[in-house]
Amino acid sequence: MRLIVLVFAFRFLLLRIVSPFKTAEPSTCHSQHKVGVRRETAKRPSSSVEQDGDGEGWKLKIAIVGAGPSGLLLAHRLIASGLPLEQLDVFESRADPRSSSSSLEGRAYALGLGIRGRTAIKTVDGELWSSVKARGYECERFRLHLSQKLSLQLRGREDGVHPSVLIYQSDLCSALLDELERRAKALETALNVRFNSNITMANLETSTLSFVSDGVTQESKKYDLLVGCDGANSIVRESIKVYSPPDTFECTKRELLPGCFKVARITSMPPALDAASVALILPKTKSLGITAFVEPTVDGGGCVLFAGRLNSESTSSTDSAELGTILYPDPSIGGREQSSMSDEEVEMIRRLLVEEFPLDGTAGLDDAVRQLLRQRTSVASSVRCNTYNSKSGLTAAAICGDAAHATGGVSGQGANSALVDVATLADCLVKHYQPDDSYSPEAKESMLHQSVLAYSMKAVPEGRALYDLSFGNDGRTLPIFRNLRNLLSTAIDGVFGGRFGIGKKPLQTLLASSLDSFVTIRRSRERYYIDPFPSNEEIESDLNYLYSKLP
């Protein structure tokens, strides 16, 4: 089990730091050769249509659930699209990340924005990407620390490769929010971002949202379109499931136990580590079952992710054996209150961390320990859905990112693929929502459903392929000779990576360093799978059959 955890951990970190520079931004068309995102240039309705009596009816009231990176990027795209917006509301259960009172929990970790995420953000414009990039730290170096004194550089600067940008989720959201508010004001768009508003239900019959704000349950106005960017525990996804006919909408969600993690910020990189390199650090006590990932961040700071296992039983007789029990209580137990942490307890945990990992002399390590104790133990989840939109006859709704296809960090493409999703959805809305001079509610509803259906047809195959690439055969085993051949091939690819004409680029590099679609990459690795990935025709046929069952 420890080896499996280490392999996934290594793969996760490697995926976050590679991304080649490309200026092309290919179309989101259904071709399985390249996946990318672009701004549609479809002709928008004239201003006279939008302003006259009939034109008022075409104006859209849209709600986005979730003000994470994907929800905020979608808001950017909608404002910049030229769509006739009457109201754009964004709901977020957490506080404004720019406020001093905002909790770091859920936003403490650093994301790796690679070629896919960068391309998606640039579909708004290069200025927005520059604003995001300025908040992050470019990094392409990666070191493996086998002990406190022995380390290996596994990746350095490569010709033709542009580094990923490591950025805290809170900083990414803050950059997107600042620009969103500025641009909405300049364009006189009716934008309302509601923080501390916890959505409890999305009613697809009444087109409303129920939410709790300041302890009071409220009901929203009616919306024309609901979009769920609300993560693996999506309320919008559950509502689509509830309102779908039997045997149509299928979704599988599972916790990736026993793996768990906690994250802390530090004010400076540990002196014993390369301050410009991501580090994967094995503990001194190999039976401990905890691995540390250290990422450099902007302004010389760092982010440390401690990955472990719930209910792990260490075979060590040292004091360090207590570390896992202290750091990873049951996820149902909330984080500790500051008042319950004694200086002696903080000092003990600090001492254990320094004994196991090269963190001695790290500025702010005591505060990092308190951050760890305040956090609830996090357990990643996987999500797999067979469609990403609601049926006709109900409010048009769509789900994006982890709400539709979570991989629990295994692929390292969660944030990047979510940003691509919302850019694709925006493209589909611009293409299919084409008002004319004669308004009718039926035509408006039909165009919105056509938009979310087109998005689903494009995004579902990508989500399915990413799931396969993340989890392989999902617990099933290939015949022994095929398995041995694949293990050997993977080892050769990992060592040579296609250099000197030996092997091919590893899966990690393919996912992180190209705009090839996930479907294309999955099909190129057919020999690793028990079941073949369906053809474009089979995918389209399956989805058309599904949608024929949705009245």
Q: Give CA–CA dist 299/105, Å, rounded.
A: 21
Q: Locate tokens 């399915």: which residue? A: 464
Bridge-based pairing state of the strands 60-65 and 85-91: parallel
- Domain range annotation of the chain: 58-140+162-250+386-479+515-550, 256-380
Taken in order 127, 132, 135, 137, the sign of the CA dihedral is negative
- How many CB atoms are closer than 10 A to CB 442? 7
Q: For the residues of 357-392, what is the DSSP string, one character each?
A: SS-TT-TTHHHHHHHHHHSPPB--EEEEES-SBPPT
Please report the pLDDT score of residue 459 as a whole number: 97
Residue 431, phi then psi, degrees to nearest 5:
-75, -40
In order of 117, 427, 511, 527, the CA distances from 122 in angstroms are 9, 13, 19, 35
C-alpha 61 chain-centroid distance: 26
Q: Give CA–CA dist 416/148, Å, rounded.
A: 33
Helix, strand or coil, per DSSP, at residue 46? coil
Helix, strand or coil, per DSSP, at residue 517? coil
Please report the pLDDT score of residue 518 as a whole number: 95
Tokens representing 403 are 């709400």
For residue 16, give the nearest of 419, 410, 493 by alpha carbon: 410
3-state secondary structure 477-494: CCCHHHHHHHHHHHHHHH
CB 517 within 8 A of CB 34: yes
Residue 206 CB burial class (10 angstroms; 0-12, 13-18, ≥19): middle
Full strand arrangement of the beta sheet holding 208-213: 197-203, 208-213, 216-219
Q: Give CA–CA dist 165/139, Å, rounded.
A: 6
In order of 92, 224, 266, 357, the CA distances from 361 in angstroms are 38, 55, 11, 12
Maximum C-alpha span of the chain: 78
Question: Which parts of 187-257 fold into alpha helices (H)?
Answer: 235-243
CB 379 within 8 A of CB 257: yes
- pTM (predicted TM-score): 0.86
Q: Give CA–CA dist 280/293, Å, rounded.
A: 5
Please report the pLDDT score of residue 479 as a whole number: 81
Segment holding 461, helix H or strand E: helix 441-471
Q: Give CA–CA dist 234/66, Å, rounded.
A: 9
Tokens representing 315 are 């075979």
The amino acid at residue 511 is L
Helix, strand or coil, per DSSP, at residue 186? helix
For residue 162, give the nearest of 16, 14, 22 by alpha carbon: 22
Q: Give CA–CA dist 350/286, Å, rounded.
A: 18
For residue 233, give the nearest of 392, 408, 464 by alpha carbon: 408
End-to-end alpha carbon distance in the chain: 47
For residue 234, give the nearest of 449, 404, 415 by alpha carbon: 404
For residue 388, give the nearest of 447, 469, 452, 448 by alpha carbon: 452
Q: Give CA–CA dist 496/97, Å, rounded.
A: 43
CATH pick for 58-140+162-250+386-479+515-550 out of 3.30.565.10, 3.50.50.60, 3.20.20.70, 3.40.1080.10: 3.50.50.60
pLDDT digits (tens, 9 = 90+) for 147-183: 888 888 777 776 666 788 999 999 999 999 999 999 9
CATH topology (fold) of 256-380: D-Amino Acid Oxidase; Chain A, domain 2 (3.30.9)
Q: Give CA–CA dist 521/508, Å, rounded.
A: 11
Local mean pLDDT, 10-residue blocks, the chain (551 residues):
41 40 34 39 38 72 98 98 96 91 61 92 97 93 86 73 87 97 96 97 97 95 98 96 91 83 92 93 89 91 89 52 80 70 89 93 92 88 94 95 90 91 98 94 96 96 94 83 77 68 74 88 91 90 82 64
